[in-house]
Structure formats: C-alpha cells, structure tokens
C-alpha cells in the first residue's frame, strides 16, 4: 500500500493499494472531529462493499447512517444531490461529521458535491471502487452533476480530506467497466509515463500502475488546481473523445471514446509535424492489448460538428493537447478548423 499527500486546499491524504480499506477508520478519525459518518453508496454495488465500509467506520467509533444512490449517468442530477441533502438532514449530520462516498465516478461526483454544499461544506472522504474513479475522478477535487443536456454543468472544486483507494474493490468490477477505465490508464502512459504503455494488458492493472497514474494526476492538479492551464494535459484525447460520445448519443463508452480521441490527435500531430512517428504504434498497441478498439476513423466525420462545444474551446480557438512522443505531451492553441484537417 502507498500513501500520498495531495497539496491542495486543506490537503488530501490518500491510501492506495490492496487492503487500503484497513486505513478507512483511522483516516476518517484523523479527518474529522465528529463521530457520525454518512455513507453514500451506489445501490448497484455488490453488498459486501458497503457492508465492509460500514463495519470499518463503526470499528473506529463512528455511528454510521447509509444512503443508497441509484447509479448511472442519467441519475447524476441535482435531484440526486437533493436526496443526499435530505439524508444528511435526517441523519443529523453537522459540519464536524463526515460524508463518505463509496462507488464509481458518478457516486463520487454526487456525494462530493453534496458534501461540498451541505452546510457550506462537510468533511468528505472518498472510497472509489471503479478503475476510472481510482485513477482519476476521486482525485483533484472536481465534483458536480449534469444539468439539461450538459455534463458536469453544475459543480465546484472540493477536495476530499481522505481518499481510500482499495484495489481489492476492483475484483468485482464488470469487464466493460475495466475496459473503459483502461482508456484513461493508457492516457496517463501516453502523456507522462511511456512505460505504462508497455505494461498494460488484459485484466486489472497492477497496484503499481494504478499508483503511477495517481502520481501523474497529482502532479498536474497540484500545478493547476482550478484547471486553467497545465491541467488541460490530462484531457489528452478528450476533445475528440467527448465529440465522439456526443455524436454517438453516448453509446460509445467514455474510455473507448478517449481511445479514439487519442489516436485521432496523434494522427493530427503527425500531419502538423508535432508528433513523432513512433507514437501512434505505441499507443495503438497498448489500447489493443487492453481490449479497446483502435478503429477511430469511422467516428471522425460525425464528431467534427461537436468539437466547438468542447469546454476548452472559446468558439474559434481550442486548447489542444498533442504528444511529442510517447510519454511527452504539450498544449497548443489551434483554430477550430485546423482540428478538422
Ligand atoms: N470528478 C472528476 O474529476 C471526474 C473524472 C472522470 C470522470 N468523472 C465522472 O465519472 C463518471 C464515470 O465514472 P465510472 O466510470 O466510475 O462510472 P460509474 O460510477 O457509473 O460506475 C460504473 C458501473 O460500475 C459499477 N461498479 C462500481 N464499482 C464496482 C465494483 N467494485 N464492482 C462491481 N460493480 C461496480 C457501478 O454500479 C456502475 O454500474 C462520469 O459521470 C464522469 O463524468 C469525474
């Protein structure tokens, strides 16, 4: 198990690896003064996970109340956060108590947002259970819900006091979710650590790879907490990726869409003489080994009309992320029509 300290806000302690769940009680006790913990969990999780977390908190002296959320992106709405507010109110949670979010990115985004906004902020502890949440969404303080047709339109930055990232939870993860998470793992390899590209394969990545992904995320969020510049690097492949997701009406999973987006950006980088010729093959090979599809070309035409909607675009220019070579990324402002080469 590894321990990290994120130098953000009041600071976030993270425990990462198999068996990290044993640190939940001590981490929660160190994080808050109160003795009540409000557990918000994804109702679709195997029952052993919330039972384990509840027992761990109780063993450290917390009185635990629990609220099961309906998971899935379609439920990531203000109404879900409002249900959590009702649960916190009924449980008598105060600002000195803890909210504990257990689940994937959807649960973490809702529970973190509710913790950030209830009574202007209750201590939040994140217990991520998907590969996406363990390598990405549990870290960096972005919380929020979808609104109308926009993803994550309502939200705020709110750092958890602790993240308990027990990779044993991943043993029950469905294959489809593993594959989707691998898109982001490979993105970390592509932007900052090319050895990850050589190491990935079928199956859940090792604790070492997961910890390396978290270290990369830590580096970028500490440098640019509010996502105003350098943190955009973490969005490599996401501009085309989000456009592919939107054009497919979200039938292409996020990690797969990011995979297509990364390959499209590498090809564009080659055309603009920004990207070395060894890059495409290294990333494509990692994607295929992880079980992702690399046939991005059929998706490009449909994606183009959605590019201007990207959050990193100001309507005419877009802040695009390119690779120089595997493991080395940079940001370049481009006119939107240059993206359509
Ligand atoms: N806040 C951020 O920085 C950030 C970053 C990336 C993604 N996100 C958000 O994360 C969400 C996607 O997250 P996700 O991919 O984790 O999806 P998710 O939360 O919907 O979880 C995917 C599925 O896996 C199931 N599941 C979770 N853990 C499990 C386990 N251990 N065993 C068995 N089943 C399990 C869930 O019930 C769900 O059906 C999106 O809403 C996205 O916007 C946020």
Q: pLDDT above 90 covers what percent of the chain?
A: 87
At which residue do the structure tokens 């008598």 appear? 92
Instruction: Summarize pLDDT for 212-221 with one digit per residue, the tens.
Output: 999 999 999 9
pLDDT for 312: 59
The arithmetic mean of pLDDT across residues 4-24, rounded, is 94
Helix-then-strand count for the chain, H and E: 13, 11
Can you give the pTM of this predicted structure?
0.96
Each residue's pLDDT tens digit, 45-68: 999 999 999 999 999 999 999 999
Helix (H) or strand (E) holding 15: strand 12-17
193/197 Cα distance (integer angstroms): 8
pLDDT tens-digit readout, 290-321: 999 999 999 999 998 887 666 556 667 888 99
CB 158 within 8 A of CB 114: no
The b-or-e profile of 167-184 (16+ CB within 10 A means b, else e) is bebbeebeeebbbbbbbb
| Architecture of the CATH domain 2-172 | 3-Layer(aba) Sandwich (3.40)
* Candidate of 130, 131, 184, 235 to mutate for ligand 1, largest count of ligand atoms within 8 Å of Cβ: 130
Per-residue pLDDT averaged across 195-205, rounded?
Answer: 96
State the maximum Cα–Cα separation within the chain, in Å, rounded to a whole number: 60
Nearest CA to ligand 1 atom 6: 137
> How much is the pLDDT for 10?
80
In the block, residue with structure tokens 């080469």 = 341
As a whole number of Å, the end-to-end CA separation of the chain is 46
Q: Closest Cα partner for 231 from 311, 164, 158? A: 311
Residue 340 confidence (pLDDT): 72
* Centroid of ligand 1 to alpha carbon of 134 (angstroms): 9
Q: In this predicted structure, what is the pLDDT of residue 315? A: 63
Report helix, strand or coil for 221.
Answer: helix
**Average pLDDT along the chain:** 95
The SS3 of residue 79 is: helix
Give me the residue spans of the domains in the chain. Answer: 2-172, 181-339
State which CATH number among 3.20.20.70, 3.30.1780.10, 2.60.40.10, 1.20.1090.10 fits the domain covering 181-339: 1.20.1090.10
Determine the pLDDT at residue 73.
87
Task: For residue 301, give the nearest of 252, 228, 257, 244 by alpha carbon.
Answer: 244
The 10s digit of each residue's pLDDT in 123-149 is: 999 999 999 999 999 999 999 999 987
């Amino acid at each position: 198990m590894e321990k990290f300290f994120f130098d953000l806000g009041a600071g976030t302690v993270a425990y990462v690896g198999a068996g990290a769940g044993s640190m939940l009680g001590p981490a929660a006790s160190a994080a808050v003064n109160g003795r009540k913990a409000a557990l918000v969990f994804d109702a679709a999780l195997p029952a052993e996970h919330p039972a384990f977390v509840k027992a761990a908190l109780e063993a450290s002296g917390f009185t635990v109340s629990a609220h099961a959320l309906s998971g899935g992106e379609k439920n990531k709405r203000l109404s879900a956060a409002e249900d959590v507010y009702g649960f916190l109110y009924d449980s008598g949670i105060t600002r000195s108590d803890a909210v504990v979010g257990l689940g994937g990115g959807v649960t973490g985004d809702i529970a973190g947002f509710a913790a950030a906004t209830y009574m202007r902020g209750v201590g939040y502890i994140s217990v991520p259970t998907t590969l996406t949440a363990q390598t990405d969404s549990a870290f960096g303080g972005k919380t929020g819900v979808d609104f109308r047709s926009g993803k994550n339109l309502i939200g705020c930055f709110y750092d958890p006091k602790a993240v308990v990232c027990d990779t044993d939870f991943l043993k029950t993860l469905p294959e489809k979710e593993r594959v989707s998470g691998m898109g982001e793992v490979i993105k970390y390899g592509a932007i900052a650590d090319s050895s990850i590209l050589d190491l990935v394969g079928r199956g859940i990545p090792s604790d070492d790879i997961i910890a390396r992904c978290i270290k990369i995320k830590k580096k970028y969020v500490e440098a640019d907490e509010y996502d105003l510049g350098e943190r955009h690097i973490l969005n490599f492949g996401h501009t085309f990726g989000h456009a592919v997701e939107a054009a497919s009406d979200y039938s292409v999973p996020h990690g797969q869409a990011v995979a297509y987006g990364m390959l499209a950006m590498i090809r564009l980088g080659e055309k603009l003489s920004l990207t070395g010729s060894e890059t495409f093959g290294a990333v494509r090979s990692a994607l295929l080994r992880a079980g992702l599809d690399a046939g991005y070309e059929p998706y490009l035409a449909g994606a183009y009309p959605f590019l201007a909607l990207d959050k990193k675009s100001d309507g005419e220019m877009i802040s695009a992320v390119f690779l120089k070579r595997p493991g080395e990324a940079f940001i370049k402002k481009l006119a939107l029509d240059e993206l359509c080469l």
